[in-house]
Amino acid sequence: MNCTGKGILMQMQDYSIHDGDGVRTTIFLAGCPLRCKWCANPESQTMTSKLIYHQHKCVGCGKCAAACPKHLTPTTMPRPSMDCDVCGVCTKVCAVKALEVSCIEYDTVQVLTRIKRDALFFRFTGGGVTFSGGEPFLQQEFLRMLVSNMYDAGINMWIETCGYFDFDAVRDIIERLDHVFLDIKHMDSATHEQYTGVGNTCILGNAIKIHDLGIPVTVRIPSIPGVNLTGENIAATALFMKEHMPKADIELLPYHELGKAKYIALGNETGFTSFPVPTGDEIKRAYAILETYGIPITEYR
């Protein structure tokens, strides 16, 4: 087993039941090439370590400032602070878990040891590992090492991707995966760029290439009224899938504002953009459009 290599993870989530079949361990890799205005995981956008402060948990005991080599406290310092080294000492003395560090370096041995521990749950539930982010393919060498070792161990592997990557550079990784969740956030490239910072040409091209490999694909739409949860965009997505990805299914992910708490915890509340939350009827109408085009519907969440 080749276990060399390091990468930056946000976290590893055990016993996940919403990221694919069975009980899964979801590995969240840091870093993303997109800047979606509705992003619910702002800590994932870069691979830089970040101190997260959950103010609602804080009891004001002062132990964090006492332990900090610079005697800083998240209640008084500018956030993010240029003075904070994100050493994590404060998180170790916080009994109420009001402080945590996101985006931490792991090596493959640490990750694979954790996965080996969970393998029994995979075997009895038909589960496995799901790579998520951020954008997992952004750390392609680390991802390749993990996938290679898990493939040799017979671990079922799924991935969640925004689709914005160099296909040829990661084709060997994709070919070892069992399922791909791929976001198609908008069918109009100019609108896609307006809301995410990049156009959709690369993403749509990669969607076709992955489908043509014969790997099961679930298209996901983070669904926002007035942005992409429109009859026109849903129909355009259905037509694209029917023509280019006839074996793929689709899942609509209703927009929510749960990410606002993360912006606050990162000291970046002004970075949060609010969008309308879709109603159940709006989601049902969108699914009805997809069904008229014969697009298979799947819901994992």
Q: Which residues contact 74 (CB under 8 A, 6 or more apart)?
A: 51, 53, 55, 58, 64, 90, 99, 267
Percent of the chain having pLDDT more than 70?
97
Nearest Cα to Cα of residue 50 among 30, 75, 27, 73:
30
Euclidean distance between CA atoms 120 and 123, whole angstroms: 5
The backbone region for 128, taken as left when phi is positive above 0, alpha when psi lies in -120 to 50, beta otherwise, is left
**Averaged pLDDT, 77-96:** 86
Quote the CA–CA distance of 72 and 250 in Å, as a whole number: 47
What pLDDT is stored for residue 3 in this prediction? Answer: 53
Banded pLDDT at 301 (limits 50, 70, 90):
low
How far apart are alpha carbons 136 and 29 in whole angstroms?
Answer: 5
Domain residue spans of the chain: 6-47+103-259+271-292, 50-102
Give the predicted TM-score (pTM) of the model. Answer: 0.93
Alpha helices in 11-133 (DSSP H): 63-67, 89-93, 108-125
253-274 per-position pLDDT tens digit:
999 998 999 999 998 888 999 9
What share of the chain has pLDDT > 90, as a percent? 85
Query: What was the pLDDT predicted at 269?
Result: 87
CATH, domain 50-102, list 2.40.128, 3.40.50, 3.30.70, 1.10.10: 3.30.70
CA distance 260 to 56: 14
Q: How far apart are CA 294 and CA 284, in angstroms?
A: 15
Longest dimension (CA), the chain: 63
Fold of 6-47+103-259+271-292: TIM Barrel (3.20.20)
Confidence of residue 1 (pLDDT cuts 50, 70, 90): very low
- CB-neighbour burial class of residue 244 (10 A; exposed 0-12, middle 13-18, buried 19+): middle
Q: So what's the pLDDT on residue 218?
A: 97
Give me the chain's average pLDDT, please. Answer: 94
204-225: pLDDT as tens digits: 999 999 999 999 999 999 999 9
